């Protein structure tokens, strides 16, 4: 099936790439990328993967079954809509929603909804509250995309997992949507093992478990490990491994994991037990390389691109994403592969 992912714009190129990495994480060998930009990703993917992808991605709003694309012209939209055949009974109910992301087109969302709605009203009943199907039009400056809504991403569930709603709180915890996106960048699959060697309050582990991964967490702080345990169990998670040790000792307990996702200690607000932060980063990078299986992915957060260079001595860098994680703090997340 050809599917449109309607992307959020929270972190520049990260929403689009999250979709592609998620598809790879679902071990989809039959997908092909049709189009990728800041507004949408359009892919051909196996039907049986679509439900899983809807449960997995965090930085999208909707998944739609692709109907058409055309120039941002009202007459072209009308022509394309005239040719659409929906495999539902005539008399079924529908509504049209236009997601207007354009800045320069001369017509409005309402214009689009009226034009397309008039065409569909010839065969189907209008129901703005609980329709049998929803036609979605994504309007951009360069292209228009039409689809039938398949899934709406449950973004409210991420809000419920924010740090302030967990029993153990830390103000430097990652936003759950970002944590999920980082997990997806690792391409970890269902029942595969993900390690966070600096797990803190467990936000990354929580998001990994929710897509079906098995998780291992480590932190040097006993307080953090106990807090992580409380948070995981608060959300009904009871299958996990947690260790309290120096990162250099992680390889004594863990080996051959499928993925590593972690946000390295910040230094200024996280205890490093008196160790220079650069030395800690290097030891952490060495351990990640040691425990990660061949062809495995590591996604790591550090304060700047220079710090990410430490990982370059151990793993092959694929891409870097600068992400503002707090008002005054930007982290750099690198995706690495072990050859």
In this predicted model, what pLDDT tens digit does every residue of 223-253 receive, in sequence order?
999 999 999 999 999 999 999 999 999 999 9
Query: How far is Cα 313 from Cα 147, in angstroms, rounded to an integer?
Result: 45
Task: For residues 147 and 171, state if they share a domain.
Answer: no
Do 181 and 128 belong to one domain?
no
Computed over every residue of the chain, the mean pLDDT equals 95
173 and 249 share one domain:
yes
Same domain, 189 and 255: yes
Q: Which of 274, 174, 168, 275 is nearest to 224 (CA)?
A: 168
Domain boundary among 153, 180, 196: 153
pTM given for the model: 0.95
Tell me: pLDDT of 269 over 70. no
Is residue 205 within 8 A of residue 257, CB to CB? The reply is no
Please indicate, yes or no, whether residues 145 and 242 belong to a single structural domain of this protein: no
Min mean pLDDT across 121-130, 273-282, 309-318 is at: 273-282
Measured CA distances, 49 to 3, 56, 59, 287 (Å): 11, 10, 18, 33
Q: Is residue 1's pLDDT more than 60?
A: yes
More confident residue, 274 or 60: 60
Q: Are 78 and 175 within one domain?
A: no
Residues 128 and 224 in one domain: no
> Are residues 299 and 253 located together in one domain of the fold?
yes
Buried b (16+ CB within 10 A) or exposed e, 109-121: bebbbebbbebbe
Number of compact structural domains in the chain:
2
Q: What is the mean pLDDT of residues 286-294?
A: 98
In this structure, what token pair is assigned to residue 245?
Answer: 């040790």
Do 114 and 167 fall into the same domain?
A: no
Average pLDDT, integer, range 212-224? 97
Specify the CATH number for the domain of residue 126.
3.30.2130.30
Residue 110 Ramachandran class (φ > 0 left, ψ -120 to 50 alpha, else beta): alpha
H or E element in which residue 176 lies: helix 176-185
Q: Which domain holds residue 107?
A: 2-153
Quote the pLDDT of residue 268.
54
Determine phi and psi for 315, rounding to 5 degrees: -135, 165
Q: Are residues 57 and 24 in the same domain?
A: yes
Alpha-carbon span 103 to 105, nearest angstrom: 6
From 137, 153, 169, the end of a domain falls on 153
Domain end residue (candidates: 123, 153, 183): 153
SS3 (DSSP) at 169: coil
Q: What confidence tens digit (pLDDT) does each residue in 292-337 have?
A: 999 999 999 999 999 999 999 999 999 999 998 877 789 999 999 9
Q: Which of 34-43, 110-119, 259-268 comes out lowest in average pLDDT?
A: 259-268
- The pair of structure tokens assigned to 284 is 């952490």
């Amino acid at each position: 099936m050809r599917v449109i992912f309607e992307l959020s714009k929270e972190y520049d190129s990260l929403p689009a790439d999250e979709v592609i990495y998620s598809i790879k994480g679902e071990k989809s060998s039959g997908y092909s990328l049709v189009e990728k930009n800041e507004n949408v990703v359009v892919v051909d993917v196996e039907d049986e993967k679509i439900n899983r992808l809807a449960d997995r991605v965090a930085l999208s709003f909707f998944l739609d079954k692709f109907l058409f694309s055309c120039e941002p012209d009202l007459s072209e939209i009308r022509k394309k809509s005239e040719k659409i055949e929906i495999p539902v009974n005539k008399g079924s109910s529908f509504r049209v929603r236009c997601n207007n992301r354009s800045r320069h087109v001369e017509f409005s969302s309402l214009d689009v909804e009226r034009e397309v709605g008039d065409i569909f009203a010839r065969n189907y009943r209008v129901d703005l509250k609980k329709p049998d199907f929803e036609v979605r039009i994504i309007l951009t400056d360069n292209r228009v995309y039409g689809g039938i809504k398949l899934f709406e991403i449950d973004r409210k569930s991420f809000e419920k997992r924010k740090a302030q709603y967990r029993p153990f709180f830390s103000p430097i915890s990652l936003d759950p949507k970002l944590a999920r996106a980082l997990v997806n960048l690792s391409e970890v699959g269902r029942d595969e093992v993900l390690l966070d060697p600096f797990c803190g309050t467990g936000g990354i582990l929580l998001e990994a478990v929710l897509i079906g991964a098995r998780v291992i967490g480590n932190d040097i702080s006993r307080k953090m490990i106990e807090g992580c345990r409380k948070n995981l169990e608060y959300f009904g998670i009871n299958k996990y491994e947690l260790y309290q040790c120096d990162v250099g000792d992680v390889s004594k307990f863990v080996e051959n994991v499928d993925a590593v996702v972690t946000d390295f200690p910040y230094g200024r607000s996280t205890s490093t037990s008196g160790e220079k932060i650069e030395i800690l980063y290097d030891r952490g990078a060495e351990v990640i390389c040691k425990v990660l299986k061949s062809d495995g992915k590591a996604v790591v957060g550090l304060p700047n691109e220079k710090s990410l260079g430490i990982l370059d001595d151990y793993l092959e860098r694929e891409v870097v994403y600068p992400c503002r994680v707090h008002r005054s703090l930007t982290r750099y997340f690198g995706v690495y592969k072990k050859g």
